[in-house]
Structure 1
Amino acid sequence: MRLAIYEIREGDEPHRLAHRLLGDFRRWTELVELNRLDPPYIANDPAPYRARGLRVLGPGDRLLYPYAGAVEPVGEEDAEAETYGRDLLLQRGELALMGGTVAMVRGLENLRGALERRLRTRLGELPAHPDTYGHLLHQYVGRAGGEAELRYILLEAERVIRQDPRVAGVRLEGELLDGEHVRVLAYVEPIPPGSPFPVEVVL
């Protein structure tokens, strides 16, 4: 099954998206199952639902959908780029240049970079999505609690990673480095066709 990505807009609803993307409003359950969504599935403000641990998409989030268009077969690299997207390459938070132009990253490397940015961005720091993008890890990092603190950190990191519809599964490990920093290592299983890969951040 070939997959494509649609960016959610304000006012989108599963039935209407199924009609627009799949040609049949009755196929809305396919979108819900493919993206592992919880009721109400899509909301203009998904933050209250996410706070309860529900997987709900909002404006700016990506929705995967089956794509059956008449396209030429593509190689593995092109399939990865189509599935995981393309974006500007950032190095230490700055745009990377290649030959005088802005460099791009695609495929699994784009997904890896996107997940690292999610784990490094506090909720509210991204002006375009102040209530839907980012983490609440700062509530736990640096607080006394040892293993209990680490469990909360890993749960929040998992919630943040699973918000990306290109992630099929994730397993996390963590280590408290000192009183104020923690290392999080995520073993990410992307949706097909990609292979699992690690993401590591120190917070």
Structure 2
Amino acid sequence: MTLTSATVAQDRVQPYETIVSLATRLLGDPMRWQELAQLNGLCAPYVAPQGGVSVLIPGDVILYPISAAAAPAIDSSSLEAMTFQRDLVTRKGDLVLTEEGLPTFQSGLKNFESALLKRILTVIGTHPFHAQFGSLLCLQVGETGDYTRLKIIAQDITTAVLSDPRAASASTELEFRNGTVWAVVTVVAVRSGTVISLDLPLQ
């Protein structure tokens, strides 16, 4: 089933709500909690006061399916925020913490761009929990490159981007700028259709 802004409504998570109580309130059936989790890209514990990766906190927007006849207009910025989700901010593999020592989160388009760059720049097979996460780009940069090798790099970048479920489509073009080869990655996001472009120097 393809959901669009015509078949999706939005609400806000209230304090002390769980994914089951949200399903009861929004869908009228606690057994439909998995629909909410899937539509919003959530992972266990789904809703928590402290939040987390793919976890909602009170006050966050939650999308829920409705019949097309009763669908109100949905705020496109909320649809994008839900598409791109929220994640922990890291710098060189370390968590970025607030002054209070709490983890920092980023959301929306910035989160999606960061996630794609991490996926492209991580050597495939080195992620401790996801063996297929990453690309071969880092192993290729600096090698003597001919046109065939560059096309393989472009295809590898595209494949890595498309392994992110938030990417509906992607393409990678190579450009020569001032003696440097650049990969220009164009990505179309699911749900919102937002198009982003990432420029990566290959030297």
Interval of TM-score (by shorter of Structure 1 and Structure 2): 0.5 to 0.7
After superposition, give the CA deviation of every residue in 1:114-170 in whole Å (9 maximum; x if it has no partner): 10000010011110012x111123453333342222111101111111111211122
Aligned partner of 1:111 in structure 2 is: 112
Contact 1:123 1:133 in 2 (8 A): yes
Contact 2:121 2:134 in 1 (8 A): yes
Secondary structure of the corresponding residue to residue 78 of structure 2 = helix
Amino acid at match of 1:68: P
TM-score, structure 1 as length reference: 0.56
Distance 1:202 1:90, change over 3 A: farther
Number of aligned residue pairs: give it. 143
Aligned partner of 1:153 in structure 2 is: 153
Secondary structure of the corresponding residue to residue 65 of structure 2 = coil
Distance 1:92 1:178, change over 3 A: farther
In the TM superposition, residue 106 of structure 1 has moved relative to its aligned partner by 1.0
Amino acid at match of 2:126: E
Amino acid at match of 1:158: T
The structure with more radius of gyration: 2
Amino acid at match of 2:183: V
Residues 10-21 of structure 1: pairs in structure 2 closer than 5 A:
21=34
What is the distance in 1 between the residues matched to 2:66 and 2:188? 26
After superposition, give the CA deviation of every residue in 1:13-50 in whole Å (9 maximum; x if it has no partner): xxxxxx9956xxxxxxxxxxxxxxxxxxxxxxxxxxxx
TM-score, structure 2 as length reference: 0.56
In the TM superposition, residue 72 of structure 1 has moved relative to its aligned partner by 9.1
What is the distance in 1 between the residues matched to 2:88 and 2:72? 26
In the alignment, structure 1 segments of 5+ residues that lack a partner are: 4-18, 23-65
The answer on 1:186 being equivalent to 2:182 is: no
The answer on 1:121 being equivalent to 2:118 is: no
Contact 1:119 1:201 in 2 (8 A): no
Distance 1:174 1:95, change over 3 A: farther
Secondary structure of the corresponding residue to residue 165 of structure 1 = coil
What is the distance in 2 between the residues matched to 1:166 and 1:177? 30
In the TM superposition, residue 67 of structure 1 has moved relative to its aligned partner by 5.4
Q: Percent identity?
A: 27
In the TM superposition, residue 194 of structure 1 has moved relative to its aligned partner by 4.7
Aligned partner of 1:68 in structure 2 is: 65
Amino acid at match of 2:110: E
Aligned partner of 1:195 in structure 2 is: 194
In the alignment, structure 2 segments of 5+ residues that lack a partner are: 9-31, 36-62
In the TM superposition, residue 89 of structure 1 has moved relative to its aligned partner by 1.8
